[in-house]
């Protein structure tokens, strides 16, 4: 579950989506907020208890293709990426500008992890989370917004919310 999600008009403004009941639409937003980054809801029973969506609206989402049952306690949102713009974000990581930004950050830090000092480190980490800045070129490609980290420290940076300079 994320604290923050983006929604694009692509799915939620489609006729098919808008033709569903407002309760099913509302349940969909709740489920998108509460899913993991791949659109999986892995504690379905708990989630449905919290949002208290009636069975008929869950069925409505399923019959319209916005929700899939994987097992008793696991459900999937097949259009999650399109709904939240994740596809766009992935594309942004493969641009020329992104590669240039990465190289410059690593070069500036001499491939040394800026948290633990490990040499030959090659992860360019965004201080302002990539997911929060990928659509703002002034931030996402700002060398000052990057820092070289090793694999281990990068994990730590993303795990405990322990970001360097936020
Ligand atoms: Zn390190």
The structural architecture, per CATH, of the domain 9-86 is: Orthogonal Bundle (1.10)
How far away, in angstroms, is 156 Cα from ligand 1 center? 9
Distance 91 CA to ligand 1 centre (A): 27
Q: How far is the CA of 162 from the centre of ligand 1 (A)?
A: 13
- Spacing, Cα 94 to ligand 1 middle (Å): 24
Instruction: Name the residue ranges covered by the structural domains of the chain.
Output: 9-86, 94-159
**CA torsion sign, 126 to 131 to 132 to 138?**
positive
Report pLDDT digits (tens) over 35-78: 998 899 999 999 999 999 999 999 999 999 999 999 999 999 99
Task: Give the pLDDT confidence of 79-121 residue by residue, as tens digits.
Answer: 998 898 877 777 777 889 999 999 999 999 999 999 999 999 9
Could you give the CA distance from residue 131 to residue 104 in angstroms, rounded to a whole number? 20
- CA 123–ligand 1 middle distance (angstroms): 10
């Amino acid at each position: 579950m994320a604290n923050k999600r983006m929604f694009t008009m692509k799915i939620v403004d489609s006729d098919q989506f808008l033709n569903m009941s407002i309760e099913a639409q509302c349940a969909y937003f709740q489920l998108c907020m509460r899913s993991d980054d791949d659109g999986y809801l892995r504690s379905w029973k708990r989630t449905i208890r919290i949002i208290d969506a009636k069975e008929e609206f869950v069925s409505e989402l399923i019959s319209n293709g916005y929700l899939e049952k994987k097992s008793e306690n696991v459900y999937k949102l097949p259009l999650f990426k399109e709904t939240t713009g994740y596809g766009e974000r992935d594309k942004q990581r493969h641009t020329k500008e992104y590669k240039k930004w990465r190289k410059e950050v690593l070069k500036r830090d001499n491939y040394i992890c800026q948290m633990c000092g490990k040499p030959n480190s090659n992860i360019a980490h965004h201080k302002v989370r990539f997911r929060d800045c990928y659509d703002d070129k002034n931030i996402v490609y700002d060398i000052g917004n990057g820092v070289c980290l090793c694999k281990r420290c990068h994990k730590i940076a993303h795990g405990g919310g322990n970001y360097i300079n936020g």
